[in-house]
Each structure stands twice: as C-alpha cells, then as structure tokens.
Structure 1
Amino acid sequence: MKSSISSILVACAIALVSLPAMADTGADLAKKNNCMSCHGVDKKIIGPAFKDVAKKYKGNADAVALLSKKVKDGGSGVWGPIPMSPNKTISDADIKVMVEYVLSLN
C-alpha cells in the first residue's frame, strides 16, 4: 500500500514539473516590462492611455504589426512631442501579446 501511494505521489510530482509554465497575459507583461510607468490603462501618464490607443487603431488590420514595431523601435510624434523609448530587449512574441492586450481594451 505504501509503495502504491509513493508511486502515485511521484507520478503526480513528475506531471506537475512537466507542465509548461502559465504564460503571462498582456497586462502581466506590460507591468513586468515597465510599460505602466508611462501608460495607464484608462489615463494618460507620459504616453497615451492604452484605451486611447485601442480606440485610435480600432478597425486597422495592420495595427498589431504597426504597434509592435513602435514598441520595439520606439517612436514619436503620434501622441505628442515626448518620444517612446525603444524596447529592444523584449521578445517579439511578448510584444505581440502586449499589443493584442492593448487593442482588446476597445
């Protein structure tokens, strides 16, 4: 009996360790990558509110690609004179998740 329980516990432990880590959501990634230092969800800080970005790009089929490039390379002039710094260290996959999150706030 003890060996059966031990075997079950070992199998469960192996299964848990083998599970992939839960992926971060766009909101998690925005917090983790300090986006929230300059952007609020519903209020402008230094850069525009995420909801304002979603509204501006609503219906734009190229929005994910366009905004992903802006996040990666930085940008200026669209929302005022203060430029957004480039984010070269964030993976393209994480940027896409964050941009999709922002656009979903519409």
Structure 2
Amino acid sequence: MKRSLLVCFALGALASNAAFANADLAKAKNCMACHAVANKLVGPSFKDVAAKYAGQKDAEGKLVQKVLKGGSGVWGAVPMPANPQVNEAEAQTLVKWVMSQK
C-alpha cells in the first residue's frame, strides 16, 4: 500500500512538473505576451484554444503550423505573427500543453 501510494505521488509530481515546465516554455518563447491561460489578451486564452480545437484529429498539426508560421482570421482581425524563436519540437510541446488546458 505504501509503495503504490508513493508511486502515485511521484507520478503526480512528474505530471505537475511537466505542466509547470510547459508554462515556463510558453513564457520563455514569449507566448504570454499575447496569450494567457484563462483570459483573452491580444489573442485567445489557451483554454479557449483548447475548447475550440477539442476533438479535432488534425488540431495539433494545424496549431503547430500556426505557432511556427503565424495565421489570421480564425480569432478575429488581429493576426498571429510567425515565431521563428520556436522550433518544431518546442511548438509540439507547447501545443500539447495548450490542448491540455480545460
């Protein structure tokens, strides 16, 4: 019992650290200049993005490309600029984290 409880605690801590690390990545890559987790700033909140794309099989691929290349028209008139400071692996990590916001 003690051992399984310890394993559950350790897995929970790892998951929590991964979520925190991805928030740190979003800050480091300047995503938070235009986005917030729960509130609209210049762009939509990450929770709104997750809700809009929930259940779409191709959502992660689309969003990775938007992070890398930018886009416009989906959330209004303000375009999202390209993010050359983000590589593809980082974009995938960020998108998975955004999609986990519920």
| Partners of 2:70 and 2:83 within 8 A in 1 | yes
**Bigger-Rg structure (1/2):** 1
- Which stretches of structure 1, 4 residues or more, deviate above 3 A after TM superposition? none
Whether the 8 Å contact between 1:39 and 1:48 is mirrored in structure 2 is: yes
| Structure in which a larger fraction of residues adopt helix | 2
Aligned-pair distance for 1:89? 2.6
Q: Which residue of structure 1 lines up, in the alignment, with residue 4 of structure 2?
A: none
The answer to whether the 8 A contact 1:75-1:84 is kept is yes
* RMSD, aligned α-carbons: 1.7
Q: Is the 8 A contact 2:29 2:85 kept in 1?
A: no
TM-score by length of 1: 0.75
Runs of 5+ consecutive residues of structure 2 not aligned to the other structure:
1-17
Cα deviation 1:42-97 (Å, max 9, x = unaligned): 00000000000000000011111000000100001000100011012311001100
Q: TM-score with structure 2 length normalisation? A: 0.78
Could you tell me the percent identity over the aligned residues? 50
Alignment match, 1:51: 47
**Structure 1 segments unaligned to the other structure (5+ residues):** 1-22
SS at match of 1:36: helix
Q: Secondary structure at the match of 1:41?
A: coil
Matched, 1:39 2:35: yes
